[in-house]
């Protein structure tokens, strides 16, 4: 690859969660919803698209707005936000964008001649008699469409199931005609919700939302967000319309379940919901998911990790990293703090600790506000014990470090190569009203390393980044 891959893979000021990646031609296109920095609800923006060469996942290009929320005839008053979409190529070679508005439980479709649009409204998924899917007697509300086309059939997966709601049974699949709109086979359930999972094999990881579908070899992989919220799970079948068996977790957006470097149940980042899917890019498969920033649920950013499959087709749970699990970052040069994949204090918390805004005891990844919304990203509110972790770096001959901070803080920044390891050195921290660089000599062990920065002191620190110096 020509450029380093980092997480989040888009610029620090861009917020595209719910990522559905696809390779079309020689580029990877990612479709998702569109959050705003400082947003107060989910999915406030129009749909945008980003793409990258399939052989260079560090070189993302903005394709612009591909579909506006006011293009849906039902949404001219803009009261509905564009929730998580998916895209499929029709038998006619056109691209079809499926979505559900936040205030209406039917599936809308837009179409375009190119992967990045522009898309134009095409219609609503409906039964042969014209009744919209989701509005027929007995239908459950539609939510989070995921699509897969094979031949002249399109498989549409939808659903949302929360605790205590007996009216929603699980994830559904509906088969569509070659026009990509008309129902040819009525919805059937493929994965149970939490109220109906007993005895199914999905216990503890029942379907919550975010259905997505991919095919690898002769297996269909049904990917979804579980009732745990932070994890993307998967079930497999040899048929697209049923027989799915739960197989495990692909990724957790707080690394719960990973026991290679910590206890499995320890969270390493402040998390909430998750949504994404996997795609084969070149010779490798990747999982796209999202993380939460700014101390809320509503400013989510896309991340990716390379996947490892076992011989039987099962997937090893991927770690959250700062490098997308592609290759370690170079052990030299400047790195912004917002690429931290771990963020925690000595108070163990799994979910974003907020009641409107984040509890001021905890750090958060945020950004400065500049004209055009493209201010730098940094970690705010690092108080005593706050730790930011970065995985991984290829350290060779690193002997100095320079860190960029500001804020009313006094103490030191301790540096470790393991979250619970001994400090290999520290950098003094003093009061600073503007971004200020402080350098210290620290001998880093050679090899592939994680780097953890822990503030020890008084006050609250803002952390912009660090430079590794040989």
Core vs surface per residue 246-267: b (16+ CB within 10 A) or e = bbebbbbbbbbebeeebeeebb
Please give the backbone phi and psi of residue 238, each rounded to the nearest 5 degrees, phi first.
-95, 0
Contact between 345 and 381 under an 8 Å Cβ cutoff? The reply is no
Residue numbers annotated as active site: 18, 209
Q: Is the pLDDT of residue 2 over 70?
A: no
**Beta-bridge partners for 449:** 393
Q: Where are the domains of the chain?
A: 20-306, 330-469
CA-CA-CA-CA torsion for 135, 141, 144, 145, nearest 10 degrees? -40
Contact between 352 and 358 under an 8 Å Cβ cutoff? The reply is yes
Encode pLDDT of 425-439 as tens digits.
Answer: 999 999 999 999 999
Helix, strand, or coil (residue 87): strand
Short-list 293, 410, 309, 306, CA closest to 362: 293
Q: Is the pLDDT of residue 194 over 60?
A: yes
Short-list 388, 386, 294, 295, CA closest to 345: 386
Short-list 286, 388, 360, CA closest to 9: 286
Q: Is the pLDDT of residue 469 over 80?
A: yes
Here the tokens at position 329 are: 């970052």
pTM of the model: 0.97
Mean pLDDT score across all residues of the chain? 96
List Cβ neighbours of 118 (8 Å cut-off, separation of 6 or more). 65, 66, 67, 112
**Beta-bridge partners for 222:** 213, 235
List Cβ neighbours of 200 (8 Å cut-off, separation of 6 or more). 192, 246
Q: How confident is the model at residue 356 (pLDDT cuts 50, 70, 90)?
A: very low
Q: Is the pLDDT of residue 1 over 50?
A: no
CATH of domain 20-306: 2.115.10.20
Short-list 366, 379, 284, 274, CA closest to 320: 274
List Cβ neighbours of 130 (8 Å cut-off, separation of 6 or more). none
Are 20-306 and 330-469 in the same CATH fold? no
Encode pLDDT of 435-464 as tens digits.
Answer: 999 999 999 999 999 999 999 999 999 999
Which CATH code, of 3.40.50.300, 2.60.120.260, 2.170.150.20, 1.10.1040.10, is assigned to 330-469?
2.60.120.260
Alpha-carbon distance of 29 to 349, in angstroms, equals: 34
Alpha-carbon distance of 416 to 439, in angstroms, equals: 16
Q: Average of pLDDT values for 18-37?
A: 98
Encode pLDDT of 158-188 as tens digits.
Answer: 999 999 999 999 999 999 999 999 999 999 9
Contact between 112 and 66 under an 8 Å Cβ cutoff? The reply is yes
Q: Average of pLDDT values for 126-136?
A: 98
Mark residue 159 as left, alpha or beta (left: phi above 0; alpha: psi -120 to 50; beta: remaining).
left
Short-list 61, 148, 66, 136, CA closest to 106: 136
Alpha-carbon distance of 344 to 364, in angstroms, equals: 9
Here the tokens at position 212 are: 């997505």
């Amino acid at each position: 690859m020509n450029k380093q891959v980092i997480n989040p893979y888009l610029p620090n000021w861009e917020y595209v969660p719910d990522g559905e990646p696809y390779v079309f031609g020689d580029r990877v296109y990612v479709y998702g919803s569109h959050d705003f920095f400082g947003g107060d609800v989910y999915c406030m923006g129009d749909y945008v698209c980003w793409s990258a060469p399939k052989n260079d996942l560090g070189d993302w290009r903005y394709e612009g707005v591909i579909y506006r929320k006011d293009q849906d005839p039902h949404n001219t008053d803009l009261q509905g936000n564009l929730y998580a979409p998916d895209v499929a190529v029709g038998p006619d070679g056109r691209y079809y964008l499926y979505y559900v508005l936040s205030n209406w439980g039917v599936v809308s479709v837009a179409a375009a001649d190119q992967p990045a649009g522009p898309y134009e409204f095409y219609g609503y998924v409906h039964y042969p008699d014209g009744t919209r899917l989701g509005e027929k007697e007995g239908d459950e509300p539609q939510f989070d469409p995921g699509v897969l086309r094979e031949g002249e059939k399109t498989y549409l997966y939808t659903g949302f199931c929360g605790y205590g709601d007996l009216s929603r049974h699980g994830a559904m699949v509906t088969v569509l005609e070659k026009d990509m709109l008309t129902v040819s086979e009525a919805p059937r359930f493929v994965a149970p919700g939490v109220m109906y999972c007993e005895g199914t094999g999905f216990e503890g990881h029942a379907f919550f939302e975010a259905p997505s579908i991919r095919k690898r070899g002769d297996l269909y992989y049904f990917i979804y967000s579980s009732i745990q919220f932070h994890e993307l799970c998967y079930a497999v079948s040899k048929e697209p319309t049923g027989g799915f068996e739960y197989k495990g977790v692909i990724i957790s957006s707080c690394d719960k379940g990973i026991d290679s470097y910590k206890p499995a149940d320890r969270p390493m980042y402040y998390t909430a919901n998750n949504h994404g899917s996997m795609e084969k890019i070149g010779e490798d498969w990747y999982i796209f998911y999202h993380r939460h920033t700014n101390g809320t649920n509503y400013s989510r950013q896309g991340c990716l990790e390379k996947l490892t499959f076992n011989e039987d087709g099962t997937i090893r749970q991927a770690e959250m990293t700062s490098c997308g699990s592609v290759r370690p970052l170079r052990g030299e040069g400047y790195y912004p703090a917002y690429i931290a994949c771990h963020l925690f204090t000595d108070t163990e918390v799994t979910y974003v600790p907020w009641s409107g805004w984040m509890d001021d005891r905890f750090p958060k990844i945020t950004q400065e506000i500049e004209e055009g919304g493209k201010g730098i990203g940094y970690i705010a509110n690092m108080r005593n014990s706050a730790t930011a972790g970065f995985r991984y770096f290829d350290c060779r001959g690193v002997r100095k470090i320079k860190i960029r901070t500001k804020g009313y803080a006094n103490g030191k920044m301790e540096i470790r190569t393991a979250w619970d390891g001994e400090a290999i050195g520290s950098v003094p921290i003093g009061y600073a009203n503007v971004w200020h660089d402080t350098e210290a000599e620290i001998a880093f062990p050679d090899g592939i390393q994680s780097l953890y920065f822990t503030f020890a002191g008084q006050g609250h620190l803002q952390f912009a980044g660090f430079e590794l110096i040989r």
